[in-house]
Amino acid sequence: MASKTLEDLFHETLKDIYYAERKILKALPKMARGAQDEKLKAAFLQHRDETEGQVERLQQVFEIMGKRPRAKTCPAIDGIVEEGEEIMDEFKGSPALDAGLLAAAQAVEHYEISRYGTLRAWAQQLGYTDAVALLEQTLAEETKTDQALTKLAEKAVNAAGQKKAA
């Protein structure tokens, strides 16, 4: 068996996050439709727009590597998205729905932050300077989105989730 290198691992992880971003791109409009809080709906739609740019940047990273953009099934993101869908089903119409959706969205963000941080470090190690800049841009967006979701949770959504249904 041939020895696998950091470059192989970088490429495999890139395929993983490419799948994840495309899966998230499909999930965000559903989450926006399911959300009751207007600010949360808007946050999901804004992040959908950002995610489109993130997918494009990933395609550029593949090009930098001389590889064709390809996705590899990511069971982790599949599970996180599935949990979000379960929350939408189980809490539909309840005061806690938005808190659950927001928590699912933050699980996605934390997964992405972890992946992009790792990919950025590996790109730097491998000398993919242009890829480092692209990955840093996405990492900054993901971090900003996570912080915005935290503020939204603390200022409105979590408290609204405590209220009794009418």
CATH superfamily assigned to domain 6-157: Ferritin, core subunit, four-helix bundle (1.20.1260.10)
Angle at 26 between CA 102 and CA 33, to 5 degrees: 50
**What secondary structure does DSSP assign to 105-162, as a single string?**
HHHHHHHHHHHHHHHHHHHHHHT-HHHHHHHHHHHHHHHHHHHHHHHHIIIIIHHHHH
The pTM of the full predicted model, rounded to 2 decimals, is 0.91
* Alpha-carbon span 31 to 42, nearest angstrom: 10
Could you identify the residue written with the tokens 């809490």?
91
On whether the CB atoms of residues 99 and 158 are closer than 8 A, the answer is yes
Q: For the chain, which ranges sit under pLDDT 70? A: 158-159, 162, 164-166
Query: Token pair for residue 108?
Result: 């996605």
**pLDDT given for residue 101 in this prediction:** 92
The structural domains of the chain, with segments of one domain joined by +, span: 6-157
Give the burial string for 144-165 (b: 16+ CB within 10 Å, else e).
Answer: ebbeebeebbeebbeeebeeee
The pLDDT value recorded for residue 164 is 61
CA dihedral 106, 108, 111, 117 (to 10 degrees): -80
